[in-house]
Structure 1
Amino acid sequence: MSLIVQKFGGTSVANSEKIMAAACRAVAAHREGHQVVMVVSARGKKTDELVGLAAEITHTPPAREMDMLLSTGEQESVALMSMAIQTLGEQAVSLTGGQIGIVTDSSFTKARIREISTDRLRRHLDDGSIVVACGFQGVDDAFNITTLGRGGSDTTATALAAALQADECQIYTDVEGVFTTDPRSVPEAKKVPRISYDEMLEMASLGAGVMHSRSIEFAKKFGVPLRVRPSFSDGEGTLIAPEGDGASRVVTGLALVRNEARVSLSELPDRPGVMSLIFSKMSARKIPVDMVVQNVGTGGTAEVSFTVPEADLAETLTAAQEAIDEMGAGQVRSGTNVAKLSAVGAGMRTHSGVAAQMFQTLSDAGVNIQMITTSEIKISVLIDRTGCDDALRAVHAGFHLEAESVPNPPIGVKQQHDAAPARANRRELLQAVVGSLASMEDIVVSEVQLDESQSRITIDNIPDRPGVCAQLFTAVAEGDVMVDMIVQNVSHDGQARVSFTVPRDDLQRCLLLVREVLASWEGASLNYEEEIAQLSVMGIGLRTHTGVGEQMFRALAERDINVQMINTSEIRMSAVVAIEQGQPAHQCLLETFGLAE
């Protein structure tokens, strides 16, 4: 007998009519022969109501008591849902997180799941009952009620599906599925029938809004097929699963994050240990650092920029200043009127010119790029928040994402039929994790990769205006050169610096192409390094687990290894070091993350 987990959010259970509609779905699945676990959120605006009540009592409510209060919203929903199912003629039992056996740490309001006991769930399912479970909550070792923070009900559903080895976890929501981008911003956006875990991880972390990244982490870690389905119709929605063998879009979707803030630390000493110190200060405050960019140092100094949620800016600036004071050098700058626009697609691994096309589209729309960071399946740019919606629409049209069928590669993009073994190794992303369900939300670093087959090119004093990156990377794409890491830090005095890596076999050809472009930029200069070592820490939830960067850079600093470039994504954190330090760095990171043989 198959087992299905169904999750219903607050809008899907907002009133008695919607509760009955959700109950009908569970009953229908049960009568088709499935065992069914429902995970239910608090009704509609119930959580907001409870938060408002607490605010009327005190401006500083204790975190433990807030968890006690907020957990009642889900308890109300599951009791009503269980009544509805029984009214329809089926057995049902409602359970709180503690009654289920969801054990968490004691981080009130943002707890992480440590383990789940399934014995009670199995007994009720085997007795023929539909289990209606409270989302968003658990208990710690002292039986305090805890809540799981943002996206907590999605996390509960996926974690239960993992623990029960469910055949599918269905997330019912008020949209038809996962779209190429937010259809409220781009009416031409299309529903994506299937998307890979890695693509969805990037989309979720970038603010795609359908699901929170923690739930995708569970799904990938334990191999749970997820399906985002509409609660208002019988549509099949979007399946989130491993990458398929069939044709796929070069770019699957776009995401826009408006609530970003930028922090830049400049005039830093270009020496080992600097990045370790910065990341440790951020990790101590559990600040989710995003879009980390460090370009190659010059004149003995380095600069690193990163984005954080705007709500965390004040805390981030305090942490950054502490790092500066401890180093005895550096300067902190910040900016708030910024947005992050990202393109995500597994097809980027095998097509050149995707970045060039994105940059050209932004140039044609008059949009200037402040920062660039990339991964194998994502390109992110930081742009001015004003006009970011126009930029989103332009890039969506530029990649033809409104098309119903899978289009051919964009003009100027050539499919690569062979690639260096090192690149092939990097394509082997995360493997499903099996075994014990204890410590379910521990950091999962599945692999540490070393690539010694690339070269680095850096261009200084580039005019900071729209179209410059488009011109540069279009020339590179026309030469059929695959670009891996692209790093552009924040410009100063109207001048920008861009670094990128290419296969070493393509270096000389790429330099000829780049020099032709540089001839039109007065004052621009080029330098390159033929041999570099690129280290990549691969894993699930590198962004939500704030300690990964701290561990990585502390380990390198302890071996006196200097980091020249940094690039990050949801599933990969990469650093460039000197070629002679590649092997020692690789070994120390394997040891740090428990992967050494």
Structure 2
Amino acid sequence: MSLIVQKFGGTSVADVEKIRAAARKAIRAQHQGHRVVMVVSAMGKNTDRLLELAGEFGPNPPAREMDMLLSTGEQVSVSLVAMAIASLGSRAVSLTGGQIGLHTDSSFSKARIRSISTERIEKLLDDGNIVVAAGFQGIDDDLNITTLGRGGSDTTAVALAAVLGAEACEIYTDVDGVYTTDPRLLPEARRVDVISYNEMLELASLGASVMHNRSIEFAKKFGVPIHVRSSFSDSQGTMIVAEQESESAPVSGAAMTPDEARVTVLGVPDIPGKSLQIFSAIAERKIAVDMVVQNIGDGGKADVSFTVQRNELETTLSALEPILESIGADGITHDDQVSKVSVVGANMANQAGVASQMFRALADAGVNIHMITTSEIKISALVRRDQASDALRAVHRSFKLHETPDDAKSWSQIKADREAEGVEVETLISRLRDDALEALTLTGISLLDGQARVTLSGVPDQPGIAADMFERIGAAGIFVDMIVQGYDGEDGSTSVSFTVNAETLEASLKVANEIAKSHGMRAVQGEAGIAKVTVSGIGLRSHTHVATLLFRTLSDNDINVEMIGTSELQVNAVIDSKSAEAAKQGLEKVFAGSLY
């Protein structure tokens, strides 16, 4: 008999009638022949009320006691849902996180799952019960109650689906699926039938609130199909699986992260080890860094810019200011009036012109770009907060995300293709240790040699420059890999660096010099003999120590970092080609225990 996991969020169990509706969905699934595990969040605004109560005793209550308090919200929900199922004539048993055997580390308020004991759940299911499990919570080795942090119930649900071998994990929420962008911001947003794990991971990390990135990490590791559905209708919803909806569309979604802050460490000595000092200090505070840009050294110094969530800006500054002197930096600047706009697509790595199309859309909307970072499936631009909504609308329209691609596939078509071709989704479940379900999972360390780098300095900080730049480069038939635009600090200008195949360096410099002349830029630099070393895996940004280990390994081998790029799936560093093999071997040694 197949098993499904159903997760109901707070709005889906906000009152008695909604609880009854959730109970009916579970009973219906059981009557259709499934064994059913429900994962339930706290009712409606219950968590907010508990936080208010805790606030009555001061601004910084003990983390352990906060987890003890907040876990009660889910305990209320699961007991009421079990009662509702009983009242409708079926059998149910409610369980807390500890009772379902969900074991975590001891990081209160943001614990990670180590293992899940399934014996009790399996026995209850075998006895004909619907198991109603509390989301968001577990216990550590000392039997302390721990909570998993933001999106914890989603994470609980997908983790249970993984260890129980569920056919699918159904996420019931107040929207009817995943959209090309937030429909509350853009009414023309389109619901997609299918989206890939990789695309959803990036969109979730960018603020797509329908799913949390940690739950997608579990799904990707273990090949769990996630079905995002409405709690209030029987609409089709969206499947999150290994395959993408379209094989041709370059972009599948757009996102806007409104509350960002940009931090720039000025005048950092351009020598090995300095990036390590900066990002080690940040990682110690468990702060997730997103856009990272290191410009090319000028006069032996470089500027390192990155973004953090706005509410973590003060903590970030307090971590960096005491070490500025030891770094040898000239100072630090920040801006908390910025937002990030991104496009994501699994096919963009194989298509030229995606970046220039995005930059042109922003330019035509009069939106200025302050920073740029790219990865294989994501392009992000930092813009002024008051221009963020216009920026999102512009890129959404430019890539025609409101239209269904001609080659779009439904989940039923994908399943049929799998069966016809005998394809099985590759998973890591058989190779992961029982006590390391949420441990760092790396899928490879690679090296791309034979690269070159071009940098334009003194780029005017005004709309349209990036669009013109990369349209000209594309027209010359030059394929660009990494792009970074960072803070320059002179005359309000910026610097833009990009990497190309070394064979196209001469042509790239010719175009770059023409661009510099037409826009009055300060200088153009070019360098052959560079390589890109890449650490690939799942959830790299949430495991804040990955970048630190990368920088430490390069520093220990006396290797300087010229450019940096980060995403949910990769951390990239551009280095001297002569050091490339030593860098790769060093990283393979350091990350040996996390490679699968």
The TM-score bracket by the shorter chain reads: over 0.9
Q: Structure 2: how far apart are the matches of 1:430 and 1:471?
A: 42
Is 1:563 the counterpart of 2:561? The answer is yes
Whole-Å Cα distance in 2 between the matches of residues 49 and 81 of structure 1? 20
1:430 to partner: Cα distance: 9.7
Aligned pairs (5 A) from 1:58-77: 58-77=58-77
**Quick one: which amino acid aligns to residue 444 of structure 1?**
T
Counterpart CA distance in 1 for 2:555 and 2:468 is 37
Distance across 1 between alignment mates of 2:439 and 2:580? 27
Contact 2:167 2:225 in 1 (8 A): yes
Residues in 1 aligned to 2:483 and 2:339: alpha-carbon distance in whole angstroms:
18
Residues 352, 480 of structure 1: 8 Å contact kept: no
Which residue type is aligned with residue 323 of structure 1? I
Q: Structure 2: which amino acid aligns with 1:68?
A: M
Structure 2: distance between partners of 1:118 and 1:519: 66
Partner SS state of residue 71, structure 2: helix
Contact 2:71 2:137 in 1 (8 A): yes
**8 Å Cα contact 2:529-2:578 kept in structure 1:** no
Secondary structure of the corresponding residue to residue 386 of structure 2 = coil
Deviations 1:252-278 (Å, cap 9, x if unpaired)? 011101111111001011111111111
Query: Which is worse superposed, 134-143 or 434-443?
Result: 434-443
Question: Which of 444, 454, 463 is 1:457 aligned to?
Answer: 454
Please say if 1:315 is aligned against 2:315: yes
Q: Which is further off, 371-380 or 503-512?
A: 503-512
**Which deviates further from its counterpart, 504-513 or 444-453?**
504-513
Counterpart of 1:4, as a letter, is: I
1:406-439 Cα offsets, whole Å, 9 max, x none, are 489xxxxxxxxxxxxxxxxxxxx99645333321
The 3 A distance-change label for structure 1 pair 61 and 271 is same
Residue aligning to 1:169: 169
1:143 equivalent in structure 2: 143
Could you give the per-residue CA deviations for residues 351-405 of structure 1, whole angstroms, max 9, x where no partner exists? 1000001101111111110000000000000000012101111111111111133
Equivalent residues in 2 for 1:227-238 (5 A)? 227-238=227-238
Map 1:112-511; keep pairs closer than 5 Å: 112-244=112-244, 247-406=247-406, 432-435=428-431, 436-492=433-489, 493-511=491-509
Instruction: Give the Å deviation of 1:508.
Output: 3.1
In 1: Cα distance, 2:228 partner to 2:153 partner: 14
Partner of 2:411: none
Kept in 2, the 8 Å contact 1:431–1:446? The answer is: no
1:583 CA displacement: 0.6
The 8 Å contact of residues 294 and 305 in structure 1, kept in 2 or not, is answered as yes
Instruction: Report what 1:32 is aligned to.
Output: 32
With normalisation by structure 1, the TM-score equals 0.94
Deviation string for 1:99-119 (max 9, x for gaps)? 000011111111111111111
* Aligned equivalents of 2:34, 2:11: Cα separation in 1: 25
- Any idea what the Cα deviations from partners look like across 1:533-577, whole Å, max 9, x if unmatched? 101111111111111111111111111111111011111110000
Checking the alignment, whether the CA contact within 8 Å between 2:97 and 2:137 is kept in structure 1 is: yes
1:246 to partner: Cα distance: 5.3
Contact between 1:464 and 1:494, CA under 8 Å: does it hold in 2? yes
Identity level (%): 54
Mapped partners of 2:317, 2:109: distance in 1 = 23
Is the 2:109–2:148 contact (alpha carbons within 8 Å) kept by the matching residues of 1?
yes
Unaligned 5+ runs, structure 2: 409-424
Displacement of 1:197 in angstroms is 0.7
Query: For the structure 1 residues 57 and 339, does the alpha-carbon distance in structure 2 shift closer, same or farther, using more than 3 Å as the test?
Result: same
Contact map agreement 1:96 1:134 (CA 8 A) in 2: yes
The 8 Å contact of residues 223 and 427 in structure 2, kept in 1 or not, is answered as no
Which residue of structure 2 aligns with residue 421 of structure 1? none
Ranges of 4+ aligned residues in structure 1 off by more than 4 Å: none
Of 519-528 and 208-217, more deviation after overlay is shown by 519-528
How many residue pairs are counted as aligned between the two chains? 577
Q: Specify the code of the residue in structure 2 equivalent to 1:443.
A: L
1:5 to partner: Cα distance: 0.6
Q: How does 1:81-96 map to 2 (within 5 A)?
A: 81-96=81-96
CA–CA distance in 1 between the matches of 2:257 and 2:39? 28
Q: CA deviation at 1:523?
A: 4.0
Residue 538 of structure 1 aligns to a residue whose secondary structure is strand
1:4 touches 1:34 (CA, 8 Å); kept in 2? yes
Say if 1:299 and 1:434 are closer, same or farther in 2 by CA, change over 3 A.
Answer: farther
Aligned partners of 1:8 and 1:40 also within 8 Å: yes
Say what the alpha-carbon RMSD is for the aligned residues.
1.7
- Larger CA deviation: 320-329 vs 478-487: 320-329
Residues 196-249 of structure 1 show CA distances to partners (whole Å, capped at 9, x for unaligned) of 111001000000111111111111111111111111111121111112495342
Asked whether the equivalents of residues 293 and 568 of structure 1 are also in contact (C-alpha less than 8 Å), the reply is no
Q: 1:331 & 1:353 partners in 2: Cα distance?
A: 37
Gaps of 5+ in 1: 409-428
- Residues of 1 paired with 2:303 and 2:328: CA distance? 15
The alignment partner of 1:289 has SS state of coil
2:420 maps to none
CA contact (8 A) 2:194 2:245 kept: no
Alignment partners' CA distance in 2, 1:375 and 1:56? 45
8 Å CA contact 1:430, 1:539 repeated in 2? no
Residue in structure 2 matched with residue 104 of structure 1 by the alignment:
104
Q: Which residue of 2 aligns with 1:412?
A: none
Q: Greater CA deviation, 364-373 or 431-440?
A: 431-440
Q: Distance in 2 between matches of 1:584 and 1:76?
A: 55
SS of the counterpart of 1:79? helix
